Amino acid sequence: MGYVLRVRLASFFTGAATASFLGLYILYKDYKVKSLHGPLDRRISALESLKHAETSLHVDATK
Protein backbone atom coordinates (compact mmCIF):
# COMPACT_ATOMS: atom_id res chain seq x y z
CA MET A 1 0.00 0.00 0.00
CA GLY A 2 2.87 2.38 0.75
CA TYR A 3 4.32 1.95 -2.74
CA VAL A 4 1.02 2.80 -4.43
CA LEU A 5 0.59 5.87 -2.25
CA ARG A 6 4.10 7.09 -3.08
CA VAL A 7 3.51 6.60 -6.80
CA ARG A 8 0.19 8.44 -6.65
CA LEU A 9 1.71 11.33 -4.69
CA ALA A 10 4.64 11.56 -7.09
CA SER A 11 2.24 11.56 -10.02
CA PHE A 12 0.10 14.24 -8.40
CA PHE A 13 3.05 16.54 -7.70
CA THR A 14 4.44 15.99 -11.19
CA GLY A 15 1.09 17.00 -12.66
CA ALA A 16 0.85 20.02 -10.37
CA ALA A 17 4.35 21.15 -11.31
CA THR A 18 3.59 20.72 -15.02
CA ALA A 19 0.33 22.65 -14.72
CA SER A 20 2.09 25.42 -12.78
CA PHE A 21 4.84 25.69 -15.38
CA LEU A 22 2.32 25.73 -18.22
CA GLY A 23 0.22 28.39 -16.49
CA LEU A 24 3.23 30.63 -15.87
CA TYR A 25 4.38 30.16 -19.47
CA ILE A 26 0.96 31.16 -20.81
CA LEU A 27 0.88 34.23 -18.55
CA TYR A 28 4.38 35.19 -19.69
CA LYS A 29 3.42 34.90 -23.37
CA ASP A 30 0.23 36.87 -22.73
CA TYR A 31 2.25 39.61 -21.04
CA LYS A 32 4.61 39.79 -24.03
CA VAL A 33 1.68 40.00 -26.46
CA LYS A 34 0.07 42.72 -24.34
CA SER A 35 3.18 44.88 -24.68
CA LEU A 36 3.00 44.51 -28.46
CA HIS A 37 -0.69 45.39 -28.56
CA GLY A 38 -0.23 49.16 -28.09
CA PRO A 39 2.04 49.82 -31.09
CA LEU A 40 -0.04 47.52 -33.28
CA ASP A 41 -3.24 49.28 -32.25
CA ARG A 42 -1.72 52.66 -33.15
CA ARG A 43 -0.66 51.36 -36.57
CA ILE A 44 -4.13 49.98 -37.26
CA SER A 45 -5.71 53.29 -36.21
CA ALA A 46 -3.37 55.19 -38.53
CA LEU A 47 -4.27 52.90 -41.44
CA GLU A 48 -7.98 53.25 -40.74
CA SER A 49 -7.75 57.05 -40.63
CA LEU A 50 -5.77 57.02 -43.88
CA LYS A 51 -8.42 54.82 -45.50
CA HIS A 52 -11.17 57.12 -44.22
CA ALA A 53 -9.37 60.17 -45.66
CA GLU A 54 -8.98 58.46 -49.05
CA THR A 55 -12.65 57.47 -49.07
CA SER A 56 -13.75 61.03 -48.36
CA LEU A 57 -11.52 62.29 -51.20
CA HIS A 58 -13.17 59.85 -53.63
CA VAL A 59 -16.63 60.93 -52.50
CA ASP A 60 -15.73 64.60 -53.00
CA ALA A 61 -14.30 63.87 -56.45
CA THR A 62 -17.49 62.15 -57.62
CA LYS A 63 -19.69 65.09 -56.58
Indicate yes or no: pTM above 0.95: no
Dihedral angle at the C-alpha atoms of 7, 8, 12, 17, nearest 10 degrees? 0
pLDDT 10s digits, 5-61? 999 999 999 999 999 999 999 998 888 777 777 788 888 888 888 888 777 666 665
Give the DSSP H or E segment for 62: helix 2-62
